Structure 1
Amino acid sequence: MNIIDIHPHIISDDEKRYPPAPLFGKRSDWSQERPCTVETLIAAMDAAGVHKAAVVHSSTTYGFDNSYVVDGCKQYQDRLAAVGSVDMLADDVPAVIQHWAARGLAGLRIFTGGSTKDFDPSELDHPKSFRAWEVLSDLGIPMCIQTGPVGLPQVAMLARKFPKVNIILDHLGRPDVLDGPPYRNADSLFALADLQNIYLKLTPRIFGDVAKGEASAETFFPQVVARFGAQRLAWGSNFPTSPGTLSEILATAQQGLASLSAADQAWVFGKTAQKLYPTLA
């Protein structure tokens, strides 16, 4: 199995060439404490047996300047694809997306909140942002969305309004799974299952959550597969944001998904990523 990671990050060690300018004005702690250059990422991938990766731009380090993720991935274009971020409400956002796509950007991401800011999904359904979605639809570029349960109604609206855009929900939208089977607290997540252009990204956050409360990996992940299908699930390491080596993060994910069939695991750990980011095929 060729394992593909769709959520590592890279941080340059050259701040003159790639100056930090974090979104919301606050730089994330992890980007300062555990920075990872593209060369470091490749070494970690080699050690872990990860074949390829879709590298996610660090908005909490560089804001909307995707230069490092694009330049870094271009150095290893046989193994990496770049996923960037733009100001969805900017007047020139269609031209900006075209610019970054021409430089090699394979995907985009909306960061509505997280480590440095509470979630605010208002940008998701702002009519001004729809121009960006139209460009994504035309170019065939997928969009990752970082939000929590509060933003899932807007995600559903976007999936219906732009059916040609594949939407990848970071961290599964951070569902509450602590109640355990049948996971009624995660109903807002499962309500998205009929929207065929919504994909789920399985990261260390959910693997940690299913080890708490009444939840378990053996009861949660088979239910997710039954509702969405493994063809719409993909693994992302969140390395180095999440603590641990890439090898350790991968091992935790493999252990968490051990109850799935080999065919389903093949989709989660590689084939879905290739569908979302064809350059990784």
Structure 2
Amino acid sequence: MYVVDAHCHVISDDVTRYPRAPIGGKQSEWAVSRPVTADAMAARMDEAGIGQGVLVQATTAYGYDNSYVLDSTRKRPDRFVAVGTFDPLRPDAASALEAATGDGGLAGVRLFTSGSTVPVQGEWFAAPEAFAFWEKAGEVDVPVCLQMRLGPATRQLHEVLERFPGVRVLLDHIGYPDIAASPADAGCTVAELARHPGLYLKLTHRNLERLRDAGKEAAAFLEPVVEAFGAGRIAWGSNLPAAEQSLPELLRLAEEVLADLPEQSREEIFAGTAQRLYPDLAQPTGPAASGAARSRT
């Protein structure tokens, strides 16, 4: 089975060419203690049997400076596409988005509204000042990854999806639903979001670890979510190196949790969804098509 990692982070070891400029002025612990360069990420992907990856900007290392993910993608276009962090409130957001995602640019953008160094959930992504950004995102058909937590800003998420139904939005880490408290309740909460056809889910270790710990009760989350969204709107991402495990371990975790799904559904989650969201991944060549992606059973 071909595998695409829809969510991994890279950080350069050249701090002169790529200076750190974390959002909020504070680097995340993982960005400091276990950074992974693009070359090292490619090597780890080879080890794990992963063909291609989506390099999602390490916002807690570089903030809005997307230089490294872009340069890494241009160096290895057969292996990577780049998703850069973007500020939808900037006065020139619409024109800047179009320029940033043009030929040779970003394959997608990310709005970082909450995270390890931004503990308070922001609601600014749904502010009127961001409407021009959302309109342009729909016009140029660029996927928008949304890093947020369900609960504090779920209403704002609904508002954006209803106002801009043509935009494809990927909910990073599925918005951190509280699977540990109740897989069934979390599953209902997430499944209800499926009424927005432009919303996609990014399934990472943040969710998979909770599902593994839930044992048989994991089905109470997975079944309604997969039924509501369909596997074609769910993509797996490792979240390496924010995740402490090795890449083979992270992939194995996902394979074990999703083992009971039909093969076609697993193919969608592990590759098909990401390839449709990011068309440059749909035609792998070179290492991505051969030795880098071993067959998995």
- Tell me, yes or no, whether TM beats 0.5: yes
Equivalent residue for 1:14?
A: 14
Counterparts of residues 112-131 of structure 1 (less than 5 Å): 112-131=113-132
1:173 aligned to 2:175?
A: yes
Higher deviation after alignment, 111-120 or 62-71: 111-120
Equivalent residue for 1:163?
A: 165
State the Cα distance separating 1:214 from its structure 2 match.
Answer: 7.7
Counterparts of residues 26-175 of structure 1 (less than 5 Å): 26-102=26-102, 103-149=104-150, 150-175=152-177
2:84 alignment partner AA: G
Query: Whose relative contact order is higher, 1 or 2, with alpha carbons under 8 Å and at least 6 apart?
Result: 2
State the Cα distance separating 1:92 from its structure 2 match.
Answer: 1.7
Q: State how far apart, in whole Å, the 2-side matches of 1:267 and 1:108 are.
A: 22
TM-score (norm 2): 0.90
CA deviations on 1:135-185 (whole Å, 9 max, x unpaired) are: 11111100010111122221221112111111000111111123445x124
Q: Secondary structure at the match of 2:77?
A: coil
CA deviations on 1:25-62 (whole Å, 9 max, x unpaired) are: 11111011111110001001111010111110011111
Alpha carbons of 1:131 and 1:34: their partners in 2 closer, same or farther (altered >3 Å)?
same
Q: State how far apart, in whole Å, the 1-side matches of 2:217 and 2:185 are.
A: 14
Runs of 4+ in 1 over 6 A off after TM superposition: none
Q: State how far apart, in whole Å, the 2-side matches of 1:26 and 1:253 are.
A: 30
Alpha-carbon RMSD across the aligned residues, in angstroms, is 1.5
Alpha carbons of 1:118 and 1:215: their partners in 2 closer, same or farther (altered >3 Å)?
farther
2:32 alignment partner AA: Q
Contact 1:222 1:259 in 2 (8 A): no
Counterparts of residues 248-267 of structure 1 (less than 5 Å): 248-267=249-268
Identity of aligned residues (%): 39
Equivalent residue for 2:248?
A: 247
2:179 alignment partner AA: V
Contact 1:179 1:213 in 2 (8 A): no
Q: State how far apart, in whole Å, the 1-side matches of 2:214 and 2:38 are.
A: 37
Alpha carbons of 1:73 and 1:265: their partners in 2 closer, same or farther (altered >3 Å)?
same
CA deviations on 1:57-111 (whole Å, 9 max, x unpaired) are: 0111111010001011111111210000111111122232123213420001111
Q: How many residues align?
A: 280
Give the unaligned 5+ runs of structure 1.
none
TM-score (norm 1): 0.95
Q: State how far apart, in whole Å, the 1-side matches of 2:180 and 2:105 are.
A: 40
Q: Secondary structure at the match of 2:280?
A: helix
2:170 alignment partner AA: I
Q: Secondary structure at the match of 1:105?
A: coil
Q: State how far apart, in whole Å, the 2-side matches of 1:186 and 1:173 are.
A: 12
Equivalent residue for 2:25?
A: 25
Higher deviation after alignment, 148-157 or 46-55: 148-157
